[in-house]
Amino acid sequence: MKIFLPLVILIVAALVVVAQSAFTVDQTQYAVVTRFGQIKRVIPAEPGMPPDPGLHFKTPFVEDVLRYDNRLLRVDVRTESMQDREKQILEIDAYVRYRIVDPAKFFLKLTDEFTAENRISNIVISEVRQVVANSDRTDIIGGVISTLPDGTVRVDPKKTDAGVDTRTALTRQVLAGVNRAVQSRDNDFGIEVVDIRIKAADFPSTVAQSVYNRMRTEREVQGQRLRAEGEQQNLTITADVDRQVTIIRADADRTGNQLRGEGEGQAIAIFAGALEQDPEFYAFQRSLELYRNALSKNTTLILNSEDDLLRYLTSPNPTAAAPTPAQ
């Protein structure tokens, strides 16, 4: 029993020492071995070297191991309000993709990924703010908004003179500025920023209503202008139609009067010819017309027996019946 207990203690101590001495490194990791806060070695040993996964050893109890991911890491930059070239406030939301290329520098400057996210976010916000301040809103949005005649709203991509989307060109400027900042001599984080994207560029909720009111006012002005143009066209068309109607009626009246005059002239000529051929028959016909117009139903006339109106009623031959001047 006296030999067994020390043996157990020795085995436990050996296990503890081995547990404190051995560590593993994954294929997707860097490892930094430190002693009292000082870097002793880095796995892999040189930046840019392939990973050295597997089992490794360190001095127990006095050395610590920090592991970093060697894959692409993502940082969601906090949303910030920024002014564009026209002094309009936009809320910019972006994200960053970066990779650790030198774990030793990363440890000395940033220590861990949480600190790296805060530092990188601040640098990205600063660079985005500078670029946005020198850009138009349409460049930031990356398109030109237009309204079709049927009311459909369309966004056409806006490109630079080189044929690149304006938002892509803007993010490239930000990416270059951020890499200069994180890889400078005084501020080398041991990282490489691979990509920066602007997820959204919106108006703040505090000014959204004023923007909607302005858009509504613009639409009302446009509607009033279209209604005024339509009313003007309506008046022009109506006046032209009224003028044409007046001209047509005047021509019709002139033609009608001319035709009536010609007809009356022809009628007078016919009557005159008939009168010349047989004056007595013409007088008889005129008397019949007078009888038809003057003697209607239940009409009583009191006339002298020698009245001319009774000539054809009293004698079928008024010429023979009438006394001659000699008689």
For 177-224, the pLDDT digits (tens) are: 999 999 887 788 999 999 999 888 877 776 667 777 888 888 888 889
* Cis peptide bond upstream of 60, omega within 30: no
pLDDT tens for 137-178 read 878 877 776 666 766 766 677 788 888 888 888 999 999 999
Alpha-carbon distances, residue 163 vs 37, 168, 175 (angstroms)? 51, 11, 19
Q: Is the pLDDT of residue 320 over 60?
A: no
Residue pLDDT, tens place only, 96-139? 999 999 999 999 999 888 999 999 999 999 999 999 998 888 78
Residue 247 has pLDDT above 70, yes or no: yes
User: What Å distances lie between residue 279 and 246, 276, 319, 320, CA to CA?
Assistant: 47, 6, 12, 15
Q: Is the pLDDT of residue 66 over 80?
A: yes
pLDDT at 323 over 50: no
* Under 8 Å between Cβ of 73 and 98: yes
Residues 251-275 have pLDDT tens digits of: 999 999 999 998 988 888 887 777 7
**Cα distance between residue 78 and residue 119, in whole Å:** 12
Residue type at 106?
F
Higher pLDDT, 291 or 183: 183
- Percentage of residues in the chain having pLDDT higher than 90: 29
Tokens (6 digits) for 211: 């923007």
Instruction: State how far the Cα of 142 lies from the Cα of 132, in Å rounded to an integer.
Output: 12
Q: What is the mean pLDDT of residues 294-323?
A: 63
How crowded is residue 232: how many other Cβ atoms within 10 Å of its Cβ?
A: 10
With contact defined as beta carbons under 8 Å apart, do 39 and 64 qualify? no
74-85 pLDDT tens trace: 999 999 888 888
- Contact of 148 with 154, CB cutoff 8 Å: yes
SS3 track for 107-176: HHHCCCHHHHHHHHHHHHHHHHHHHHHCCCHHHHHCEEEEECCCCCEEEEECECCCCCEHHHHHHHHHHH
